[in-house]
Copies of this chain bind each other. A is one copy, B any other.
Amino acid sequence: MDAMLKEITAQCAQYTAQGHVATYIPELANVDPDKLGIYVLLEDGRSYSAGDHQALFTMQSVVKPLILLLALMDSGIDAVRALVGVEATGKPFDAFNYSDQALTGAHINPMINTGAIALCTLIHGDTYHDRFSRLLELTRKLADNPSMDVDQSVYESEKLTGNKNRALAYMLTAYGMITDPVEEILDCYFRACSIQANCQDLAKIAHIFANHGRHPVTGEQMFPGAYAKYVNATLATCGMYDGSGEFALNVGFPAKSGVGGGIMGVVPHRMGIGVFAPALDKHGNSVAGVRMLAKLSEALDLNIY
C-alpha cells in the first residue's frame, strides 16, 4: 500500500505543472506549486502516506463541511435547511450572479462561499470569536490534532482582500438572510478558511465522516450519523464546485477541495483520505490531487456508484 501511494504520487507529479496556485489571495500565491502529498486512513486504523503529506496548507473551502457540521450540531437540520439549500448551482465557487428572483435559501449551497458564510450564523457562541473558537476546537478534535491553528498571514490577507466575500455577505444581509454584523461573520469565516492542516489532518477528519460520526478507536459517537450522511451527500453532489459531476465519474466518492490545494476524500465505511497539491484547475480543484484520488479509486475500487 505504501508502495502504491508512492507510485501514485510519482505518476501524478507531472500534473502539478498543469495547474496554477491560487492568486486571488496574495499569500496563497507564495505556495510551492510542486508540492504533492497523500495520506490514507483505513477503517481499521491502519494508515499509509507518501510525498509531502506533512506539509501544511490552509484548509480554505475544505473547512466548509466542518462549518456545515457544526451548524447542524448547534442548530439542527431544519434550521440549516431553512437557511441554505442542497442543490448544485452549476456555477463557480464565488459566483455572484444570483438573479433577484433566485436569491432564496433554496438556491444557496453550503459548499459555495455564500452558503458557508450564511451557515456561520447558525454556529453557537456569544461572539463570532467564540463561534470560531468552537469551530477550531471541533476541527482539532476530529483531526485529533490539538496543534491545528490559523495561518495568521493568510487570515490577514483574506481579510484585507476578501471583497467578493464582503459583497456576498452584504447581499445576504440585503435579502434578510443574515442579520449579524457582516465584518464579524466574515472574520469568523476568514479565520476558518485560514486554519492550517496537513494531509493527515484531512484524512482523520474524513475518516470520521466515513465512519458516520463514530470515532474509529474509542467508538465514541462524536456527532449523529445523520449529520455525517448529510455532509457526505452534499460533498458527493457539490463538494468539487462545478467539477463535482466530473469527479463523481472519475473518482466516485464524496470529497471537498479547497483553493489551498487540499482535498479531503470520504469513502463511506472504508477510509478517509487527505491529499495536497496546490496547483489548481479552472474550477479551483487541485489538478494533481484529483488525479491521485482517481488512481487510488481505481486501484482500490473505491467508486461507490
State the A residues within 8 Å of B (CB): 85-92, 95-103, 107, 109, 163-164, 166-171, 173-174, 182, 229-230, 232-234, 236-238, 242-246, 248-249, 252, 254, 268, 303-305
Query: Which one of B85, B167, B238, B249 contacts A230 once the chains associate, using CB atoms below 8 Å?
Result: B249
Q: Which residues of B are found within 8 Å of A171, using beta-carbon distances?
A: 96, 163-164, 167
User: Contact between B167 and A163 (Cβ–Cβ < 8 Å)?
Assistant: no
Complex CA gap A248/B100 in Å reads 26
Identify which of A91, A100, A234, A249 gathers the most chain B CB atoms within 10 Å of its CB. A249
**Please, how many angstroms separate the alpha-carbon atoms of A59 and B67 in the complex?**
40
Closest Cβ of chain B to A235, distance in Å, is: 8
- Say yes or no: B95 contacts A96, CB within 8 Å: no
Residues of B within 8 A of A164 (CB): 170-171, 174
CB distance A98 to B96 under 8 Å? Answer: yes
- Chain B residues, CB < 8 A from A238: 88, 245
User: Separation in Å of the A281 CB from the closest CB of chain B?
Assistant: 13
B-chain residues with CB within 8 Å of residue A252 when the two chains form the complex? 229, 233
Q: A87-B243, A101-B101, A245-B85 are in contact. Are A170 and B174 (CB under 8 A)?
A: no
A230 to B268, CA, bound (A): 19
Q: B244–A88 contact, CB under 8 A?
A: yes
CB-defined contacts of A109 to chain B, threshold 8 Å:
245
> In the complex, A86 Cα to B250 Cα: how many Å?
11
Question: Given A86-B249, A248-B236, A249-B230, are A305 and B254 also a contact pair (CB < 8 Å)?
Answer: yes
Q: Tell me, in angstroms, the Cα distance from A100 to B233 when the chains sit together.
A: 28
Contact (A233, B254) CB under 8 Å given A87-B88, A97-B99: no
Q: Which residues of B contact A88 (CB under 8 A)?
A: 87-88, 90, 237-238, 244-245
Pairs across A and B, CB under 8 Å, 12 listed: A87-B246, A88-B245, A96-B97, A97-B99, A163-B182, A164-B174, A166-B182, A167-B169, A167-B171, A167-B174, A170-B170, A237-B248
Residues of B within 8 A of A89 (CB): 90
A224-B229 Cα distance, complex, nearest whole Å: 30
Given contacts A87-B88, A90-B90, A101-B101, contact A305 B96 (CB under 8 A): no
